[in-house]
C-alpha cells in the first residue's frame, strides 16, 4: 500500500479515534504514581478503552504484543511491555496509547514524571516534547518529510541530545502502521511532499546520551545502549488545506 489520502468520512472517524486516544492519556495521569505497577496501568487503560470507550486497544496481539499499552520507563526507549514492577520516585515513563474506533486508529503518547526525576531525565522529556512541537509546526501542504526530520534533529542535537534512528513515525488510518515512514532526522527539501488529507504520526525518541539502542530478548522492549534516559512524545496529525490538525490533542492540552 502506498500513501493514502483520507476522505471526509475517514477524517471524521480519525478525529474520533484520535480524541479517544488522547482521553486515555488524560484518564491515566492521576494513576501514574510511585508504587503502581505498569501492569496495573495496563489493566486500567484496557478496561477504560473497552468498557467506557467501546473501542479496541490496538497493541493487544499486534504482531504478538502481549498487552494493551506500551510503557517505557527511564532508559527504555519504546515498546516497553507492562510488568509487575512498581514505579518508583524519580522514574520517567512514556505511556503510548493506540485505540481503534470504527476501524480507524488514533495513536498518541506522552511522558509522565513520578515524584522528582533527575534534572537530565526531566530535560530529556521536555526537549522531546519540544521536538514534537517543532515537527508539528512544520506541517502543511507542500513541505517535505525531510523538512520535519531536519527540524526535529536540529533541536535535539543543539541541546546535546540524540535522535533514535531505528524507529519512526508513520502513516495511520484503517491500518496501524502504513506509509509513509516519518523519520525524525534528515535533510531539508528531501522526501515525500505533504498533501491535504494525509494522516501520520510524529513521535521523536530523544536520548540523553548516544543514539544507539538495543532490543531486549523479550523481542519488544527497546533500550538505550548506554542506559541513559530516553523520552518520547507522539501525536496523530491531519494535513489540512492551510496547515495541520492535531487529532490526538484535547482542548486545554499544550502541544
Ligand atoms: N504505538 C506505537 C507507535 O507509536 C506502536 C506500538 S506497537 C506495539 O507506533 F505492538 F508495541 F504495541
Ligand atoms: Co505511532
Ligand atoms: Co504510539
Tens digit of each residue's pLDDT (9 = 90 or more) over 131-155: 999 999 999 999 999 999 999 999 9
CA distance linking residue 224 with residue 94, whole number of Å: 14
- Write down the pTM of the prediction: 0.98
CB 231 within 8 A of CB 92: yes
Q: Tell me the per-residue pLDDT of 171-214, one tens digit each, with 9 for 90 and over.
A: 999 999 999 999 999 999 999 999 999 999 999 999 999 999 99
- What are the Cα distances from residue 115, in Å, to 90, 122, 164, 243? 5, 11, 26, 37
Nearest CA to ligand 1 atom 3: 107
Degrees, nearest 5: CA angle 4-188-212: 85
Q: Tell me the per-residue pLDDT of 46-85, one tens digit each, with 9 for 90 and over.
A: 999 999 999 999 999 999 999 999 999 999 999 999 999 9
Q: Tell me the per-residue pLDDT of 213-236, one tens digit each, with 9 for 90 and over.
A: 999 999 999 999 999 999 999 999
Q: What spacing in Å lies between the alpha carbon of 120 and ligand 3's midpoint?
A: 24
Per-residue pLDDT for 1 more than 80? no
**Residue 158: predicted pLDDT:** 98
Average pLDDT over residues 94-117: 99
Q: Tell me the per-residue pLDDT of 10-51, one tens digit each, with 9 for 90 and over.
A: 999 999 999 999 999 999 999 999 999 999 999 999 999 999
**How large a percentage of the chain has pLDDT more than 90?**
99
**Residue 202: predicted pLDDT:** 99
Confidence category of residue 164, pLDDT binned at 50, 70, 90 = very high
Q: What is the mean pLDDT of the chain?
A: 98
CA distance linking residue 127 with residue 92, whole number of Å: 14
Return the percent helix, strand and coil in the chain, to nearest 5.
30, 25, 45
Q: Which residues, in sequence order, are bridge partners of residue 95?
A: 71, 110
Nearest CA to ligand 1 atom 12: 59
Candidate from 38, 46, 59, 236 with most ligand 1 atoms within 8 A of CB, to mutate: 59
Per-residue pLDDT for 159 more than 80? yes
Q: What spacing in Å lies between the alpha carbon of 191 and ligand 1's midpoint?
A: 24
Amino acid at each position: 500500500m502506498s500513501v493514502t489520502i483520507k476522505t471526509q468520512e475517514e477524517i471524521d472517524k480519525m478525529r474520533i479515534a484520535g480524541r479517544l486516544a488522547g482521553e486515555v492519556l488524560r484518564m491515566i495521569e492521576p494513576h501514574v504514581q510511585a508504587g503502581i505497577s505498569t501492569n496495573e496501568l495496563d489493566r486500567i487503560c484496557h478496561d477504560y478503552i473497552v468498557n467506557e470507550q467501546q473501542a479496541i486497544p490496538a497493541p493487544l496481539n499486534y504482531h504478538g504484543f502481549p498487552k494493551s499499552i506500551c510503557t517505557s520507563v527511564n532508559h527504555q526507549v519504546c515498546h516497553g511491555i507492562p510488568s509487575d514492577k512498581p514505579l518508583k520516585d524519580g522514574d520517567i515513563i512514556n505511556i503510548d496509547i493506540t485505540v481503534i474506533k470504527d476501524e480507524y486508529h488514533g495513536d498518541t503518547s506522552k511522558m509522565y514524571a513520578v515524584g522528582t526525576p533527575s534534572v537530565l531525565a526531566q530535560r530529556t522529556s521536555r526537549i522531546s516534547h519540544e521536538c514534537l512541537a517543532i515537527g508539528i509546526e512544520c506541517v502543511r501542504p507542500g513541505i517535505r518529510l525531510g523538512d520535519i526530520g531536519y527540524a526535529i534533529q536540529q533541536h535535539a542535537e543543539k541541546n546535546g541530545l540524540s535522535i533514535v534512528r531505528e524507529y519512526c513515525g508513520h502513516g495511520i488510518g484503517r491500518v496501524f502502521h502504513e506509509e509513509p515512514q516519518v523519520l525524525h532526522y534528515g535533510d531539508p527539501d528531501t522526501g515525500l511532499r505533504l498533501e491535504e488529507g494525509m494522516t501520520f504520526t510524529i513521535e521523536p525518541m530523544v536520548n540523553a546520551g548516544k543514539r544507539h539502542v538495543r532490543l531486549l530478548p523479550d523481542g519488544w522492549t527497546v533500550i538505550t545502549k548506554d542506559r541513559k534516559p530516553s523520552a518520547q512524545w507522539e501525536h496523530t496529525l491531519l494535513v489540512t488545506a492551510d496547515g495541520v490538525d492535531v487529532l490526538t490533542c484535547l482542548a486545554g492540552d499544550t502541544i
